[in-house]
Structure 1
C-alpha cells in the first residue's frame, strides 16, 4: 500500500478498533456491517491466505478461527505490534501491496480490507499483475474496500461529509485513491481475472476475482 500514508496508519493504530466498532460518528457509515464484511471475506477464502494490510488483526482473527493458514503483510509498525500482541501465533511480515517477502509456494487466496485504496490506479494495476504470479490456478483475490460507482457518486459523498461537518472523512475521501468500480473491473479483467462485486454498506464493496486458467 502507499507508503506515503504510513504516518496516518501510525496515528490510526491506537483508535482503529474503536472506529471499526462504530464509536467515531464520522466513520460509522464506512464501518457499518464491519463484522459482516470480515465474515464475508473469510467465507470466500481457502487454503493458504496472504493478507495485505493486517492492521490490528481483526480479519486475521477470523481467518485463523476458520482454520486457514495465514501470512500477514503490514507496513505500519504500530499496527503490526497490535496485531502480534492480539495473535502471537500469526505470521506478520513487514511489507506492502507492491513490496513484500513471499515464498516460492503459490497461495490460494489473497485478501485485504480497507487498504487497497491506498494505491493509485496505476499501482493497483501493478499489484494485480504481481498477485497473478503468486496465486495458484483458480486462486482468488478477495478485497473489501471503499469504492464508488462513478466520480459523480464519489463527489456526492465528499459533499455530504462536508455538509455533516465530517471534516476528517471528507479529507480522507479527497486525499486517498478510492477507486471507481469500472476502473477496478478493467484492471482485474485485463490481468486475466473473472470478477464480481457485492455491496456491503454505503461505502464498502467486496470484490472477488478468480484467476483464469491460461
Structure 2
C-alpha cells in the first residue's frame, strides 16, 4: 500500500543524513527502480534550458543533487521540500539556495515567479488523487514561456510497470505508486502546460519537458 504524505515526510526526515551515501551505489542491482540515478540527473540537467541568472525552483529538492547541476550553470536556485531535515542538509551544502518547507500541492512562492521549475525522483510521492492539483500548482508558479522538467521513476504502460516489478523482485517498493507516462502527459496538458517532450533516461526513468504558453497567467 502506498505511503501517506506524513509517512513519506517521516521517512525522509530519518533518511536525510545518509540519503546521498545510500544512492552512491545506485547502479547496482540493489538500487531497484533507482538504478541509473546519477546518469538520469545528468541527462535531465543537460536538457533543462536555463540561462545565467534564471530563477529555478526545485520541488522536492532533497539534498540538492539536481539543483546543484543547474546552479553550476549560473541559475539562482530555490527549493521546497516537505522534509525539514532534508532542507537542513541541503542548506548546509548549498547556502546560496533559497529554501522553504512545502510540497507539490502547496508551493510557498508567488504565481509566475520562476523561469523553470524542476523536480527529480519526487513526483511519485504525490498520491494519485492529488496529482492533477500538483500539476496545476507547478504551472501556477511558472512564468509564461517557462519550462517544467519532471524526472522520476515512471513507466510507459501498466505492462512495462509489471515487467519492471518482476525484474526488480525483492528490491521493488510496494509503498510507491509510480506514474505512467500517458497519465502524467494528460495531467500536464489539463494544467495548461503543453509542447511536452519525453525521454527515457534509464531503464525505469523518464523525464518530460513541458512549456507554459506565453500570454497565459
The TM-score bracket by the shorter chain reads: 0.7 to 0.9
- Aligned pairs (5 A) from 1:48-127: 48-103=55-110, 106-127=113-134
- The equivalent of 1:8 in structure 2 is 11
- The equivalent of 2:175 in structure 1 is 175
What stretches of structure 1 of length at least 5 have no aligned partner? none
Distance change (3 Å), C-alpha of 1:98 and 1:33: closer
**Residues 114 and 145 of structure 1 are in contact (CA less than 8 Å); yes or no, is this contact kept in structure 2?**
yes
After TM superposition, where is structure 1 displaced by more than 6 Å over at least 4 residues in a row? Answer: none
What stretches of structure 2 of length at least 5 have no aligned partner? none
- The equivalent of 1:207 in structure 2 is 208
2: CA distance between counterparts of 1:157 and 1:144? Answer: 18
2: CA distance between counterparts of 1:123 and 1:150? Answer: 20
- The equivalent of 2:199 in structure 1 is 198
Cα deviation code 1:93-114 (max 9, x no counterpart): 1111111211355211110100
Deviation at 1:138, TM superposition (A): 1.4
- The equivalent of 1:38 in structure 2 is 42
Normalising by the residue count of structure 1, what TM-score does the alignment of the two structures yield? 0.87
Deviation at 1:205, TM superposition (A): 1.0
Normalising by the residue count of structure 2, what TM-score does the alignment of the two structures yield? 0.86
2: CA distance between counterparts of 1:131 and 1:16? Answer: 25
Q: Indicate the RMSD between aligned Cα atoms, in angstroms.
A: 2.2
